[in-house]
Each structure stands twice: as C-alpha cells, then as structure tokens.
C-alpha cells in the first residue's frame, strides 16, 4: 500500500524542483489526468517535472522513503491508460517533458543519445540532420516520447524490418525506485554482463523505475521510397503478396499495413482533405512502403513489377504507386488517421492483438464473424500491421445504440471474447500497446501462473515498496480471482 503525500513532502519537492518543475494547480494538472482515449480519469496530488536525472533520483528517493506512488508520464498517448494516475489522488505524476535534450548524435557509431522526454518526431529530425534515421514511426510521433516508447516497447509501421523499440535500444539510463541511478547508456553492440536491465526496463510500463535517457540505434537515411495503395478481395492474398514482395525485393519492404473498406470510408468521412487512392472500393486495402538507400535501384520498379503481376494473375484487384512525395504522404495520412477517424466516429471496444502472420487472414474473417454472431449488431473494424501479425481489432456498438452505455454494459465481455480468440490461435492480447490499466483484468486471467509469478518476483525485487506506477501491468495475487486489480 502506498501513502498520501503529506504537506512536508510536497514542500520539499516544491523547493527541489522550483516553480517550473512543481505544480498543484488543478488547471495545470487537468490535461494529464485523463488517458488519450478519454475513458479513464485519475487524480494526482501534484505534477512533478524534473529537469535532470539528478532531480529524478532525488524525487524517487523521497517517494520511496515516504512510500508515495509515482506515475511516470511522457506524452500521455498510451492506448491502455498506462500513464493515467489512480483515482484516489494520492500519486505524484512525474512528467519527463522538461528532459528533452538530444545529448549526442554520432553518424560514425550510428547512435543517438536522447533524454526520455524527447518527442519521436524531434528525434527523426535530429537523425535526418546527420544523414541518418531512427527507424520507428507511429501516428502519435508528434507527441509520444522516447521514455514512453521504450516503456511500452512500442511498435508502429516499420517493425517488419527493424523490430519493436526493444531492438532499437542500445543503452538506457534510469533511476530505480530506491533513487539509485543505473548508468547503462554505453551503446555497445556486444555486452554480455548477465541479466539485461535495459531490456527489463523496456516494456516495464514505468513499474520498475524511470527511464531518463537512452542510446538509440540509427540506420542510413532513405534514398528512395515507393509507397503503394493496393485493393484486394481476400485477406489471405495479402500474405501471398507479402511473400512475393520479399522474394523480389529482399529487405526493401518496411511497411505492410491493412485497412478494411469500412475503415477507409471512416477516414474519408471524418478527416478533411483525404481522398481514396483507387477508383473503386475494395474489401481490403494495403499500404506498402519499400525503400532503398541513395544510389540503389528505385524500389518502385520492383514493387511495380510484383503488383502488376499480382493484378494480372488475379491475386489483387487494383494498385497505385504514389507518383511523388506528396502523394506518398497522402497515402500514409489515410492509414495514420484511422485511430483518429474511429475516435471521432464513436466509442469502440479496442483491442491490439497478435497471432502468427499466417493465421491472421483467418483471424480477420472468422474472428469478425464470431464476434458479430456472439454480439449481434456489433461492427468489427480491424486494421493495422498485417506484416507483423498484429491488428487493432476494434468492435463498435450496434447502429442506433448509445455507444457509451453499450461499452459499459458489454465492453468487458466483448474484450474477453476477442482476447480469448487470439489466445486460442497462439496469439497475444497485447501486441504493442502494453497492459496498462485497461487490459489488466484479462492479462491476470490469461497470463498463467509461471508468467505471473516471475512478473511479481521481479517487481518485488526492484520495487519492494510498490511505489512505481501502481495499478498497471503487474496483477496482484488477488487480481487473478477478482478480475485484475493490481497490488
Ligand atoms: C494516434 C495514436 C496512434 C498510436 N499508434 C501506435 C502504434 O502504431 N504502435 C504502438 O506501439 N503504439 C501506438 N500508440 C500508443 C502510444 O503512442 C505508445 O504507447 C507510446 O509509446 C507512448 O508514448 P508516451 O510518451 O505518450 O508515453 P505515455 O503514454 O506517457 O506512457 C506510456 C507508459 O510508459 C510509462 N512511461 C512514460 N515515460 C516513462 C519513463 N520515462 N520512464 C518509465 N516509464 C515511462 C508510463 O508510466 C506508461 O506506463 C498510438 C497512440 C496514438 C494516440
């Protein structure tokens, strides 16, 4: 159990962090108390914004001593309310927004050292300034931070080639709950000194400490890229197409995203300035990006050949390759606006599931039919990272039904049903968003005793007083029986 911070502790923190780093003003706190989806509302005793690793260390030392809960927060774009404080108002939010320096950039080592509060698109710009790139991107890139991306082991649209955030983290600097600083920033490509604390902190969702900086892998800048929009009838054909593309282009294909016709229609309806790339509507659409370094053959040539052959033999129905950068960006905007268009359209029971890539087409078709049969009138909208075997399998309320009331009443049952469908196919209920608060109950229900015991043992060892982000990721012993409450 954590405690409510007393006035003396709050005064000490206010003096330590100064007016820029400490506030209790309800207006300052308000934007940080609700999750991005607007579904989970919390409260906090104060918002702390330290400006250095030393200040974070002092904050955690004091919080540990007084047994006060700390909720780390970056851009607050978590899809699972991971950065939203509990409703009791006793926690302190620790925002990394003032820790936004890029400490170094090396084209020779292909490494950037960035502080936790650096926004992803700023890292993209910094890497571009030395002829490199950071190969992870997602629709929240203008807000999501390096600390949040590592803590959720974020994925995005280039996982197919470069893996998730874990694969791009070479080193981490973090403050452990005791206040000790773990200096693991050295960007060695090889380092076998036993247990890997960096990888333990990646995906820990702020439950084991606060990441303050990271060494990140850079890769050569893109010389040429080809972006295609493809229309097809059968999702199974998409996997055949992906394998053909790999055979023809090697590692050139970085993104392979799927959007159903109803998803494209939502974007066209709600996002100003968007238009359909193909003349006709198609049951499924694919967004494909292939890249090549400067001086190499244009990937548009091989992409065009494979797509042309696929149309000729009936595998796909139509395709367009963007004629220029502006058109390429407009194709990407359609994909990246999916979450926003869906949010504008109404509430949905949202899921971020993965299954083996080869099992995904059947999952899309059979899963949809199963959900719509079990919950009559509901509408499934599944889109996302098909090439990684990961889709956002969202279920919307029946037409004419109050979506908030429906979600309150049926949301949990719908989610359990979808998560169990993925589990039955050897899949995961969280491909890239993490567990946070909103998936804790189903995670506790399905994780199995060995995984739960290991998770709790690690948590207990590194955070014995349970101050780090309570209520997220780690189900308490009673949660398995009671449906997910954390210890
Ligand atoms: C429109 C949209 C599209 C998205 N698309 C994708 C996608 O394609 N793929 C994907 O993986 N995610 C996606 N997300 C989810 C989200 O952007 C990621 O989870 C992102 O990694 C969160 O970064 P953040 O800085 O906003 O972290 P926050 O939301 O602030 O925090 C996320 C978690 O990390 C913890 N945390 C934050 N900073 C630190 C730190 N410095 N040290 C320790 N713990 C910390 C928090 O406590 C919380 O548990 C999307 C979100 C939106 C809104």
Average pLDDT value for residue range 54-72? 98
Q: Phi and psi for 153 in degrees, rounded to 5?
A: 45, 60
Supply the mean pLDDT for the chain: 95
Burial of residue 188, with CB atoms counted within 10 A of its CB: 0-12 exposed, 13-18 middle, 19 or more buried: exposed
Q: Reply yes or no on whether the pLDDT at 54 is more than 80.
A: yes
pLDDT of residue 487: 34
By most ligand atoms within 8 Å of CB, the mutation choice from 151, 207, 389, 392 for ligand 1 is 151
Q: How confident is residue 486, by pLDDT bands cut at 50, 70 and 90?
A: very low
User: Stretch 398-422: mean pLDDT, rounded?
Assistant: 95
**Whether the predicted pLDDT of 484 surpasses 60:** no
Q: What is the pLDDT of residues 82-106, one digit of tens each?
A: 999 999 999 999 999 999 999 999 9
Sign of the Cα torsion 265, 139, 76, 79 reads positive
The rounded percent of the chain whose pLDDT value lies above 90 is 92
Q: What is the mean pLDDT of residues 170-198?
A: 93
Q: Which atom of ligand 1 is nearest to the CA of 385?
A: 8
Res 152: pLDDT: 98
Q: CA 145, CA 459: separation in Å to the nearest integer? A: 24
Q: Which residues line ligand 1 (CB under 6 A)?
A: 36, 71-79, 82-83, 96, 116, 138-140, 144-145, 147-149, 151-152, 154-156, 205-206, 210-211, 339, 432-433, 469, 472
Q: Ligand 1: distance of its center to the CA of 366 in Å?
A: 30
Across the range 151-179, mean pLDDT stands at 96
Q: What is the structure's pLDDT at 478?
A: 52
Separation of alpha carbons 371 and 368, rounded Å = 5
- Cα(401) to centroid of ligand 1, in Å? 31
pLDDT band at 166 (very low <50, low <70, confident <90, very high): very high
Structure confidence at residue 189 (pLDDT)? 83
Q: How far is the CA of 201 from the centre of ligand 1 (A)?
A: 14
Q: What is the mean pLDDT of residues 372-378?
A: 96
**pTM of the model as a whole:** 0.93
**How far is residue 211 from each of residues 28, 42, 121, 123, measured CA to CA in Å?**
23, 22, 19, 17
Confidence of residue 40 (pLDDT cuts 50, 70, 90): very high
Q: Is the pLDDT of residue 483 over 60?
A: no
Q: What are the pLDDT digits (tens) for 280-313?
A: 999 999 999 999 988 889 999 999 999 999 999 9
Q: Using DSSP bridges, classify how beta strands 46-48 and 92-95 pair: parallel, antiparallel or unpaired.
A: parallel
Looking at per-residue confidence, does 103 or 487 come out higher? Answer: 103
3-state secondary structure of 248: helix
């Amino acid at each position: 159990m954590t405690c409510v911070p007393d006035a003396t502790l709050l005064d000490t923190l206010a003096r330590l962090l100064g007016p820029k780093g400490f506030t209790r003003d309800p207006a300052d706190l308000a934007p940080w108390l609700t999750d991005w989806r607007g579904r989970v509302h919390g409260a906090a005793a104060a918002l702390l914004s330290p400006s250095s690793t030393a200040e974070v260390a002092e904050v955690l030392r004091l919080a540990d001593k007084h047994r006060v809960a700390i909720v780390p927060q970056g851009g607050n774009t978590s899809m699972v309310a991971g950065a939203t404080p509990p409703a009791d108002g006793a926690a302190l939010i620790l925002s990394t927004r003032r820790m936004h320096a890029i400490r170094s950039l090396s084209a020779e080592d292909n490494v950037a050292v960035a502080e936790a509060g650096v926004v992803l698109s700023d890292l993209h710009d910094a890497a571009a300034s030395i002829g490199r790139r950071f190969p992870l991107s997602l629709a929240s890139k203008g807000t999501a931070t390096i600390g949040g991306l590592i803590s959720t082991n974020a994925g995005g649209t280039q996982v197919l080639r470069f893996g998730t955030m874990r694969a791009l983290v070479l080193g981490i600097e973090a403050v452990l709950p005791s206040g000790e600083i773990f200096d693991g920033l050295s960007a060695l490509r090889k380092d076998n000194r036993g247990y890997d604390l960096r990888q333990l902190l990646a995906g820990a969702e702020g439950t084991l400490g606060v990441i303050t900086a990271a060494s990140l892998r850079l890769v050569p800048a893109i010389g040429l890229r080809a972006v295609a929009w493809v229309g097809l009838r059968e999702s199974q054909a998409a996997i055949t197409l992906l394998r053909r593309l790999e055979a023809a282009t090697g590692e050139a294909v970085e993104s392979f995203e799927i959007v159903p016709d109803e998803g494209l229609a939502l974007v066209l309806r709600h996002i100003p300035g968007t238009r359909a790339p193909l003349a006709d509507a198609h049951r499924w659409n694919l967004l494909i990006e292939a890249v090549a370094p400067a001086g190499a053959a244009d990937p548009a040539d091989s992409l065009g050949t494979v797509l042309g052959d696929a149309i000729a033999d009936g595998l796909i129905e139509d395709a367009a390759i963007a004629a220029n950068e502006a058109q390429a960006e407009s194709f990407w905007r359609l994909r990246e606006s999916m979450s926003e268009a869906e949010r504008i359209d109404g509430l949905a029971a949202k899921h971020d599931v993965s299954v083996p890539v080869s099992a995904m087409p059947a999952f899309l078709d059979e899963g949809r039919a199963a959900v719509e049969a079990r919950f009559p009138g509901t509408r499934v909208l599944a889109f996302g990272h098909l090439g990684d075997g990961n889709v956002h399998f969202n279920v919307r309320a029946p037409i004419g039904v109050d979506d908030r009331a429906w979600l309150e009443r049926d949301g949990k049952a719908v989610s359990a049903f979808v998560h169990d469908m993925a589990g039955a196919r050897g899949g995961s209920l969280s491909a890239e968003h993490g567990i946070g608060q909103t998936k804790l109950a189903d995670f506790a229900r399905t994780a199995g005793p060995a995984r739960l015991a290991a998770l709790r043992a690690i948590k207990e060892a590194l955070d014995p007083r349970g101050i780090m982000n309570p209520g997220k990721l780690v189900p308490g012993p009673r949660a398995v029986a009671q449906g997910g409450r954390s210890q």
